[in-house]
Amino acid sequence: MLLIEKTLSIIKSKNMNKDKIALVFETLKKRDPEPVTELNYKSTFQLLIAVILSAQATDKSVNSATSKLFKVAGTPEKLYNLGEKKLKTYIKTIGLYNAKAKNVIKTCKILMEKYNRRIPQDRDSLQKLPGVGRKTANVVLNNAFGQPTIGVDTHVYRVSNRLGLATGKNVNQVEEKLIKNVPEKYKLHAHHWLIILGRYTCLARKPMCFKCPVVTYCSYKQKVLEHD
């Protein structure tokens, strides 16, 4: 958070204008027209579980665990019957696995008892499931149901602040501004493009501005140059 506060002080909370925002997303779209999540899954249920497990963990570590887990327990019934103790043996390499195992089992039970094994298609219902916060709900709605939601994780939060797409001191502020600022035709894929940019180029401590496709429009980079 200290790094983000420093970033905010540099860019002085100055957001891009609409024309620049459109140029940013058009550039990212040309590089990757149909981006998808890097989490591996074969059903909406598996996506939900993978996203729950991905909180404060890397997609790579989650994929490594679920590649084995989903082979033996890829449905609500099978995962619930696996039980919390056995589930932990599959996800113990993922951060916060004790709490996640408990939430996953509870979620499976609710899905079977209340939703006939189907995944809810609205944010409020999703957020009532154990382990599902707003970001997780947004990711599921976007990837599984094609809704133009924007899941703000650490990458989206950082990149949005640095570029000047949507500055804010917390993820809710950033999400609210992104929904307002991102042109409608780019919203469906917006958070994918920003995640990819943050994960591989706009790194937390050493952003690789030299390879950034949208550095020309970046408020952070321009302000850093002015301060040098």
Question: Annotated catalytic sites, by residue?
Answer: 135, 153
Tokens of 31: 């590089």
Question: The tokens of 20 are what?
Answer: 């620049």
Taking the CA atoms of 161, 194, 211 and 213 in sequence, report the sign of the dihedral they define. Answer: negative
Measured N-to-C along each axis, helices 187-200 and 18-31 cross at an angle, to the nearest 10 degrees, of 70
Q: Are 103 and 52 in contact (CB under 8 A)?
A: yes
Helices (H) and strands (E) in the chain, counts: 13, 0
Tell me how far apart the alpha carbons of residues 60 and 151 are, in angstroms, rounded to a whole number. 18
- Is residue 41 within 8 A of residue 47, CB to CB? The reply is yes
Of the candidates 61, 50, 46, which has an alpha carbon nearest to the alpha carbon of residue 92?
A: 61
DSSP code per residue over 145-196: H--------HHHHHHHHHHTSS--SSHHHHHHHHHHHS-GGGHHHHHHHHHH
